[in-house]
Amino acid sequence: MDDKIAAGIISRQLQAHAEHYQTAKEDMADAKKRFLAGVRDPDHFGRNTALTEKGKWRISIHYQFFTNGFVIAAFTFSPQPRGHLRGYSHSHGYSVLYRKQGDAWIPMPKTPVHGG
């Protein structure tokens, strides 16, 4: 099975059963700190990562933390305020599923969320 398909299936199942596996709200801040300290994904969290494409996009990241060793990070790219750059009127995004491996969080292939 293709890794991207597998990541999509796992993500959908985690979200469908979030009430059983999602980290408790009171533990979210600590979960985020631990994730950011251990994530191994230079494309999204590396020192020289440039997701905004030189200011073209505003980036927001929504995290879902699960007690069974998975994190879903949904990246949304919105155009800068009107007038900054013409031709970029639609938001788009994708999610990345991370799995815990030892002390590190390793990305699985990204899956489309919406838009382009």
Report residue 109's pLDDT band, with 50, 70 and 90 as the boundaries: confident
Give the pLDDT of residue 85.
Answer: 53
For residue 17, the tally of other CB atoms under 10 A from its CB is 12
| pLDDT at residue number 7 | 84
- Ramachandran bin of 17, using left for φ above 0, alpha for ψ from -120 to 50, beta for the remaining angles: alpha
- Which residue would you say has higher pLDDT here, 37 or 83? 37
**Under 8 Å between Cβ of 60 and 78:** yes
Return phi, psi of residue 84, to 5°.
-70, -55
Strand blocks (E) in 4-91? 57-66, 70-79
Q: If pLDDT is split at 50, 70 and 90, which confidence band does 86 have?
A: low
pLDDT for res 116: 45
pLDDT class of 84 with cuts at 50, 70, 90: low
Domain boundaries, the chain: 3-43+59-114
